[in-house]
Structure 1
Amino acid sequence: MSNGATDVIYRDCTLCEAHCGVQITVDRGVGKVVDIRGDTEDPFSRGYICPKSTGLVGLSTDPDRVRHPLQRKGKDFQEISWEDALETVAERLGEIRTDHGANAIATYLGNPNAHDFGSNLSVPALVKAIGTKWRFSATSVDQLPKMFANQLLFGSPGSFAVPDLDRTDFFLILGANPLVSNGSIMTAPDMRGRLRALRERGGTLVVVDPRLTESAAIADLHVPIQPGTDALFLFALIHTIFDDQLADTGPLQQSVTGHESLRELARPFSPESVAEATGIAPETTRKLAHQFAKARTAACYGRLGICTQEFGTLASWLIDVLNILTGNLDRAGGVMFPHPAHAHAGPARRSSRMPYDRWRSRVRGLPEFAGELPVATLAEEIDTPGEGRVRALVTVAGNPV
């Protein structure tokens, strides 16, 4: 029974990558969340939260929320204890592993795992204990091409160079809508406020996107592009930068190799040669190349629309190549490597072998990358009879159906 006393707990919202700081008020008597608001002392969000955070109050008390393990009994589910649930899972997975091998068990990790420190610590241990190579996640329908490009450029899939949005003078966005996503792979709460501040300090916002997105609607310039042609457009920018002698890697000069190879790669892709395919006038491409290269600081950023296309890896690679070629990598106001909350492989060491194509899917023979297979193959690995068929699926914070 409530006695009116409350406690205030400070956490961060894990519903998206912005990780806004939240102040949670809990009724001490019944242990019930009664209020959630932004944490004004949080250095990232500074008191900002979106409706998803405030909606967590209702989620915590929703009668449809699953609070106990449920076991299927015919067409219905029956509540069972945690002890019985864990024993049942261990027994059935153990039988399948013994009879058919570890690879008869597949795992699927949903997007929320990436936003939760507890999941980051515990789930890899579970997957390792199962011992399966049949690992899937939301990553392969999200940012895996970007991670592949990270490996090629920086030596680690997790080495993301993110825009220093608060200090940049020129922000070029391709295939992203940060006003809605809150800046995926950027961790920048209050995106509307940050983009407004960019323009108020005299900066420029350019959005290249087939749609007039919410972000494009507030930009200084929206450049419509034919879907799937971002790599051609980026090559044309790089072609212009070389052609008009705008390339300047600055302090990165001693660390960058392959200038001439890149110049040759970009040579066939003049703004005129790609204009019909991209739908972008050559003069627009040339002007943007000059503006980006001559800006005091600039950052090029691409996201889901870049990754989920035929040349997603190439386009992701070209975005960071553009940042490097103009001296905007690892620079205030450009794109920078943030300090993570916990250590990862980092950009300093390259592994002796690319974490790619060490095994392949059974049905179509598609290669793994960074330890996982394309989730597009999961259904066929379950449905197709034969040796190595997936007979059990463990999902964590995901809904692959």
Structure 2
Amino acid sequence: MSTQAAETTVHRICPLCEACCGLELKISNNEVISIRGHEADVFSHGYICPKGASLKDLHNDPDRLRKPLIKRNGKFVEASWAEAFAEIERRLPPLLSAHGGDAVATVIGNPAAHKIGLLMYFPRLAKALGTHNIFSASTLDQMPKQLAVGLMFGNWLSVPVPDIERADFLLILGANPMVSNGSLWTVPDFRGKAKALRARGGRIVVVDPRRSETAAVADEHHFIRPGADVFLLLGLVHTLFDEKLVRLGRLAEHVVGLGAVEAGVKDFSPERVAARCGFDAQTIRQLARQLAGAERAAVYGRIGTCTQEYGTLCSWLVDVLNVLTGHLDQEGGAMFPKAAAFAVNTLGQPGSGKGVTTGRRKSRVSGAPEIMGELPMICLAEEIETPGAGQVKALISIASNPVLSSPNGERLAAALDQLDFMVSVDIYLNETTRHADVILPGSSPLEDLHYDIVFQQFSHRNHARYSEPVLAREADTPPEWQILLRLAAIAQGKGAQVDVDKFDDELFAGDVRRSTGAQADSQAGSQADAVLAALSHLSGPERQIDFALRTGPYGDRFGQKPDGIIWPR
């Protein structure tokens, strides 16, 4: 008699790039049989790339770690979860006690952006450690853009993205969305959307030092000297003022500093910057005229405009061009996504915000200012190497491989060998985690729930999508949010045997009371109690998703807006 389980169809959001495509999987006996694009997905409409199709290979990869590892006499040996946390409890608290919170650095990598358990609970771990030495992959590729939009629009994640489905003209600098399907711009099937743009008479112009896949399908491709984007952008802005092409339109009442911008670009005429860019002046002027003359247009710059000497200035000038041509926050232009949950720029009273602050502290050795609470990744090695008060003695790395991905990886690798203790939360033994004393394996994406916090804030269309785990996790393997919460408990002195669910309840209740002002107002306290009661059937990230959706811009506000959305759980 056959024991073969029936084949079932499940759906999942792809976690392997910023496009966040919907996938349809066939499952049998807790194994993936096939993966294809989900035709009914409200966002990606069946699009899939080779990355999504390889998700099965990632799950089945024999090199993926499935058990904790502890380094004994220089070699890793498998251990139980209890043994791994006991080793951390034995070694981490004494370091914190002797040297303080800043002696323990943290580094978190790009995969965490798709892992809600890691993303939501990392701040809890950092707070428990009391460390200011926080590093992430953001400082390697995108912090210039986040700094620019933070200063310009008041929030680190208020990144305007091209409304490609209604645009007539796109100017793309230093980006290759034909391959990436967007970066700080979530746009699955860029190829199809670009083809549709051109079919309706629109144009795409690419500026890039190489003939990228995007440049190859554009209407125009202009080569530029590497690192010269800032001079081209200054020349374009100069032309708009010089030829009286500035059209603020309805943006006029929201714009300040226009005269300062005009004065600032006065010395950067196309004729002056042309040689530095590798352009002729007339081409620069013509590009400015095309942009200003298009009814619906957007300028988009990405990693090539960020990872250079003038990255922040380039990132700012991209949006200056969108403002001066009247294309910011306009249909078919560069628009602000309005995420359904977790977006700080959708909370509170409209028209108000705290803005951003930088440089609240500086790195100990180089004096580099923090931005968005982070220090530059390139400072990590020197913070470990340099003796003195505040020297980094331990490291917790989470889904991160900076020895491979950051500059001067050899120096960082040597520095990691000097640490007194290192813990990694990762699914691989790689160039960075091999230096750890304890490795705690995270979950396969297919074993984990999924809700994109970050990428819905960069999406070309507003949406809210959630994926349940599609494969069963091994019984003794904790979800990633519990791994980080147990590490936080160890750092706080609560011990490895802490009741994680109770600890999570306490922390979440504190979040709700702070967000409602319950600590200073009895009526708000009653409201907080009602919210906590309404969510009492949930825990972990699911509870946070429901709370964020219901208090978000489309939410039901826990009954205050009966037609608002509520998570159907």
Q: Distance in 2 between matches of 1:50 and 1:297?
A: 29
Q: How many Å separate the matches in 2 of 1:262 and 1:243? A: 12
Residue 391 (structure 1) aligns with: 393
**Aligned-partner SS, 1:133:** coil
**Equivalent AA in structure 2 for residue 225 of structure 1:** I
AA partner of residue 232 (structure 1): F
Name the counterpart of 2:375: 373
Matches within 5 A, 1:301-320: 301-320=300-319
Letter in 1 for 2:190: M
- What is the TM-score of this pair, normalised by structure 1? 0.96
**Worse-superposed segment, 91-100 or 132-141:** 91-100
The residue identity in structure 1 corresponding to 2:265 is A
Q: Hey, what's the Cα distance between the residues in 2 that align with 1:127 and 1:35? A: 39
The residue that corresponds to 2:220 in the other structure is 221
Give the distance between the partners of 1:233 and 1:328, measured in 2 at CA.
Answer: 19
Matched, 1:79 2:78: yes
State the 1:112 CA deviation. 1.3
Tell whether the 8 Å contact from 1:355 to 1:371 is kept in structure 2 after alignment.
no
Matched AA of 1:103: D
Given that 1:142 and 1:308 are in contact with CA atoms closer than 8 Å, whether structure 2 keeps it comes out as yes
Q: How far apart, in 1, do the equivalents of 2:101 and 2:54 lie?
A: 40
Partner amino acid, structure 1, of 2:163: D
Q: Which residue of 2 aligns with 1:140?
A: 139
Q: Match of 1:390, as an amino acid?
A: V
Distance apart, 1:386 and its partner CA: 2.1
Separation in 1, partners of 2:380, 2:320: 33
* SS in structure 2 of the partner of residue 24 of structure 1: strand
What is the distance in 2 between the residues matched to 1:355 and 1:152?
8
Cα deviation 1:169-218 (Å, max 9, x = unaligned): 00000111111111111110111111111111111100111111111111
Q: What does 1:86-165 align with in structure 2 at a 5 Å threshold?
A: 86-165=85-164
Match of residue 16 from structure 2: 15
| Structure with a larger share of its residues in strand | 1
**In the superposition, relative to structure 1, how do residues 279 and 4 fare at CA in structure 2: closer, same or farther (>3 Å)?**
same
State the match for 2:359 in structure 1: 357
SS at 2:308 equivalent: coil
Could you tell me how far apart the structure 1 residues matched to 2:150 and 2:113 are? 19
Secondary structure at the aligned position of 2:389 is classed as coil
Task: Return 108-117 or 145-154, whichever deviates more.
Answer: 108-117
Note the alpha carbon deviations across 1:261-319, whole angstroms, 9 max, x for none: 11111111110010111111101001010000000110100011111100100000000
Q: What is the match of residue 322 of structure 1?
A: 321
Shift of 1:342: 1.9
User: What is the match of residue 165 of structure 2?
Assistant: 166
Return the alpha-carbon distance in structure 2 between the equivalents of residues 62 and 195 of structure 1: 35
The 5 Å alignment of 1:122-271 reads 122-271=121-270
Q: Quote the offset at 1:376 in angstroms.
A: 0.5
1:255 shift after superposition: 0.8
Per the TM alignment, residue 359 of structure 1 is displaced from its structure 2 partner at its CA by 0.9
Residue in 2 aligned with 1:24? Answer: 25
Q: Does 1:3 align with 2:4?
A: yes
CA distance in 2, matches of 1:241, 1:160: 23
Q: Distance in 2 between matches of 1:44 and 1:303?
A: 22
Deviation digits for residues 35-67 of structure 1 (CA, Å, limit 9, x no counterpart): 211111112211011111111112212221111
* C-alpha distance in structure 1 between counterparts of 2:131 and 2:310, whole Å: 30
Q: Are 1:33 and 1:60, in contact at CA under 8 Å, matched by a contact in 2?
A: no
Give yes or no for contact 1:182–1:188 (8 Å, CA) kept in 2: yes
Q: Deviations over 1:334-381 (max 9, x none)?
A: 0111122423321844436x4211111111111111100000011111
Q: Distance between the aligned counterparts of 2:65 and 2:217, measured in 1?
A: 40
Partner secondary structure for residue 346 of structure 1? helix
What's the offset of the Cα at 1:90? 3.3
TM-score where L is the length of structure 2: 0.68
AA of the residue aligned to 2:370: E
Specify the SS of the correspondent of 1:10.
Answer: strand
Query: Partner letter of residue 148 of structure 1?
Result: L
In 1, Cα distance between equivalents of 2:340 and 2:105: 29
Q: Spell out, residue by residue over 1:147-188, the C-alpha distance to the aligned partner (whole angstroms, 9 max, x if none).
A: 000111101111111111111100000111111111111110
Q: Name the residue aligned to 2:402.
A: 400
- 2:402 partner SS: coil
Secondary structure at 2:359's aligned position in 1?
strand
* Counterpart amino acid of residue 12 in structure 1: I
Change (3 A) 1:16 1:318: same
How many Å apart are 1:2 and its aligned residue? 5.5
| Mapped partners of 1:239, 1:10: distance in 2 | 50
Query: Partners in 2 of 1:2 and 1:288 — Cα distance?
Result: 66
Deviation at 1:114, TM superposition (A): 1.6
The answer as to whether partners of 1:17 and 1:187 remain within 8 angstroms in 2 is yes
C-alpha separation in 1, matches of 2:115 and 2:102: 27
Which structure 2 residues correspond to residues 268-347 of structure 1 after superposition, within 5 A? Answer: 268-346=267-345
Please give the root-mean-square deviation of Cα atoms over the aligned residues, in Å.
Answer: 1.4
Measured in 1, the distance between the counterparts of 2:73 and 2:33 equals 38
